[in-house]
Structure 1
Amino acid sequence: MKTAIVVEDEYLACEELKYLIRKYSDLNIIAEFSDGLQALEFLQSTQVDVAFLDINIPSINGMILAKSLYNSKSQPAIIFTTAYKEHAAEAFEIEAFDYLLKPYTEDRVEKTLSKLSAELYPAAMPIVASDSSINLYQGSRIRVIEVSDIIYASANGKITDVETVHGSFTSPLMLSEFVEKADNAKFFKAHRSYWINLDKIEEITPWHSGTYRLKCKGVETLIPVSRSNIKEFRERMGL
């Protein structure tokens, strides 16, 4: 089991975050701190896999703490939990795993933990369960999903976010690899970052330069059709 610490000086915020971590992951929270220096001293003698860091904390702030861990042999994945968006660029420089802005939503935390699970357990999941289903992450859980239940998949760096009729999931594959593994005649690569189930399209809206934006059943995200794919899309949809 992977381990984590929470560094947060607000009691209620700390309790909420711990609740969500336990609900959507199997991370073992082995310690919590309200003081940055105490957390640093702990991490100098104890290795953990993930550190959830508030930035505005006593003694040394979370950003200084994270920088002190950067490039260390035991550097954990850093997830900032803060109300201060101006530190996002610094977080990027030290390769923080994510930057959660308060007040964060349960859905936002769930997606972060789902991505984290794909990062921490890349070899733990068999990719294809059968010819018609695929295994996807939701937090630390693996769900077997019928490929026909996928609404769309979108690129998210080295992993793929997958929206389904059963909720949001993650695959540890890049989008191009995911498309190959979950091959289905009903799917269409609308854009270099989006792969969509044509059966789930609810509305097609004309957009600029003769392109379209697509609204799918059950989701609010509008998916673009790139100019290079317009001709094939019209043919597939009989437009």
Structure 2
Amino acid sequence: MLSAIIVEDEVLAAERLRVLLEECNVVLLNVFHHAQPALDWLSIHEADIVFADIGLPEINGLEFVERIKRGAKRQPEIIFTTAYEEHALRAFELAAADYLLKPIRMTRLQAALDRVGEKYREKADDFTHFTVFSRDLMIEIPWQQARYLLAEHKTVFLITGDGQRYELPKTLVSWEELLGDKVIRIHRNAIVFRHTLDCLIRLDEEEDESNAIWGAKVLDVPKPLPVSRRQLATLRKILKKQI
């Protein structure tokens, strides 16, 4: 699942893009109406995509991209938004992943997201193992031995099939991006490797199905892992395909 921020001084344009991104299942991390707060945020946070108005009033597109390159914690893909078609060439000169003409159409937005998503899938295909420290020794753990990643108190942990727990660098969102289709998010603080998913288990006895609490049974993990209501439909689709 891709993550993004919006940098757009037009409130209505930002809101329209927010709604479209929600429909595309993009995790919107923040919305900024000025460039500098966005740059400050990117210096300590990570996002896959920055949707930026190429005509921001206080800073031009070139300077904005250069400042991101110099100061971002991790380099995001840039997708410019503009009301003028003649800015398209300029956008690509700035090494943007794409540009979108306002008003933004869903089909055009999805095409841009697919292009960025493909880059992250290619990265996921190259990933072979985790490098972790155990008793002051560096060891390599093939990703196939992993069961899930859990975020607790701003730290991410890798849990393996034998129940071992290792601390990992980077954020849960970063690992989700890197691992791509190898994993699926089941909760705001947990992603599970798809090949380990077994089934969904009802965790309560409420009569009202709409308020039911569900867990995911994961290979070699004794207790079901909590599943958020937001992710329940996605998990059901995945498990149905595996049958």
Q: TM-score range by the shorter chain?
A: 0.3 to 0.5
TM-score, L = length of structure 1: 0.46
Name the one with the larger helix percent.
2
Task: State the TM-score, normalized to the length of structure 2.
Answer: 0.46
